[in-house]
Copies of this chain bind each other. A is one copy, B any other.
Amino acid sequence: MASHDGPVRVALLGCGTVGTEVARLLITHADDLAARVGAPLELVGIAERTLDAPRDPVIDRGLLTTDWAGLVARADIVIELIGGLEPARTMQLQAIAGGASVVTANKELLGKDGPTLYAAAEAAGVDLYFEAAVGGAIPLIRPVRESLAGDRITRVLGIVNGTTNYVLDQMATTGEELGQAVKQAQEQGYAEADPTADVEAYDAAAKVAILASLAFHTRVSTADVHREGITAITPEDVAWAAETGHVIKLLAVAERTPADGEGKSGIVVRVHPALVPDEHPLAGVRGAFNAVFVEAEAAGPLMFYGQGAGGVPTASAVLGDVVTIARHLVHGGRGPIESRYADLPVLSMADAVTRYQVRLRVADRPGVLAKVAQAFAANGVSIEAVRQSGSRGDHADLLVVTHVAREAALSATVAMLDGLDVVGAVLSVLRVEGA
């Protein structure tokens, strides 16, 4: 690869919270960055929809332009921080077509349509880096696609959404209802006015699609991810979790399933609330922090922990990518390309294999447990423990903990339990992970 003369020209698309911090670091750390790259990084422009919005004083207004296409044409590295599908995709593709490398934090676009971008970058011989798309400041993409490139990852368990972790942590600490905790998160700046993308796990689903693609050398899109948000979690669930030595986390899970009797093996990718045992390293991840736990055949368990969002932390990840690409331009080199050779089948949620805690309201009379146990047995789901929470007049609450079972078998069990005359209600079904 030819070596680069003069400064490396950097264009910024989007100047919100993260973009402003990226600009600030490019300006205030210019000397450090130049020394690390071997050439100056020159911020040649910032594309925005309007030029007259209020800006942080660090932004030289002369850099602002609405002509993103003209700006992209003058850049060696384009940083896309607009987010969303369009116009971000068009902008990235045009940058790549023009020979620029791209750095992005756009999980939505990469989760939905990453392969289009990876293929374009590979064909053009440019780099596409996206460390900031998952886990904010936490180095995750490089470790997974480079450090672990000689190993076989078997499972990824991640807390990849700070908003929901804050909300669930708040519920665990104060006993609040979900709605109150969300309000608290909004007041603290940890949740958007419309919290849907976070609490319904759209954000986490996009991130785990990206991680799963890298971890399993297989294309996984957001559409392949089984997604459940946290809106059904009640203070009672939280209290029961604590009572049984767990915390509830919104977990992003990507794992290889063991080959079953029919020889069906592949990966399952899912996001949902889950019970995590108190002793697990993920259980201690408090507030808006993120952490990703990776299990690999040789490396064993690994965990990566840090701030998963926020303008300043995310800017750190963006700048790390910019420096890496700029070093390639100056010294020669090229980042990794898409690795999808394994092409594992992405199985449905019905094929997931995990443990469950099922809470039931049952009639409080002899023979009930036998009928309940029979429903599990009939579906081949083995019970590890049963616990009754004390009689409340004519009914009692029953907590059933299973051994590992296929999701399909558990669902069938729940349907059968729902039909039993001795079962008043299936109060909650929570998966247990990391045990």
Residues on A lying within 8 angstroms of B by beta carbon are 1, 21, 25, 29, 32-33, 35-36, 131, 137-139, 142-143, 146-152, 217, 281, 284, 296-307, 312-313, 315-324, 327-328, 331-337, 339, 341-342
Contacts and interface: CB of A to CB of B under 8 A. Distances in A.
Contacts of A299: 137-138, 306-307, 313, 316-317
Given A299-B307, A333-B333, A333-B334, A143 B146 contact: no
Contact of A142 (B32, B143, B150, B305): B143
Given A142-B147, A146-B324, A147-B139, A337 B342 contact: no
Contacts of A301: 306-307
Closest 7 A/B residue pairs (Cβ): A150-B319, A139-B147, A139-B143, A137-B299, A298-B316, A35-B341, A299-B316
Contacts of A147: 131, 139, 142, 317, 320
Contacts of A319: 149-151, 298
Interface hub of A139, A312, A331, A333 (most chain B Cβ within 10 A)? A139
Contacts of A29: 150, 152
Given A146-B320, A149-B324, A334-B333, A138 B302 contact: yes
A381 to B, nearest CB: 33
A144 to B, nearest CB: 9
Contacts of A334: 331-333
Contacts of A151: 25, 316, 319-320
Contact of A316 (B33, B142, B150, B281): B150
A150 B303 contact: no
29 contacts: A1-B1, A21-B298, A25-B150, A25-B151, A25-B298, A29-B150, A32-B342, A35-B342, A36-B149, A137-B302, A138-B302, A139-B142, A142-B142, A142-B146, A146-B320, A146-B323, A149-B320, A150-B319, A150-B322, A150-B323, A151-B319, A284-B284, A296-B316, A297-B316, A299-B316, A299-B317, A303-B304, A332-B334, A333-B335
Contacts of A331: 334, 337
Nearest to A312: B298
Contacts of A339: 35-36
Contacts of A217: 35-36
Contacts of A149: 36, 319-320, 323-324, 327
A37 to B, nearest CB: 8
Given A139-B148, A149-B324, A305 B305 contact: yes
A137 B300 contact: yes
A341 B332 CA distance: 20
Interface hub of A332, A337, A342 (most chain B Cβ within 10 A)? A332
Contacts of A333: 1, 328, 332-335
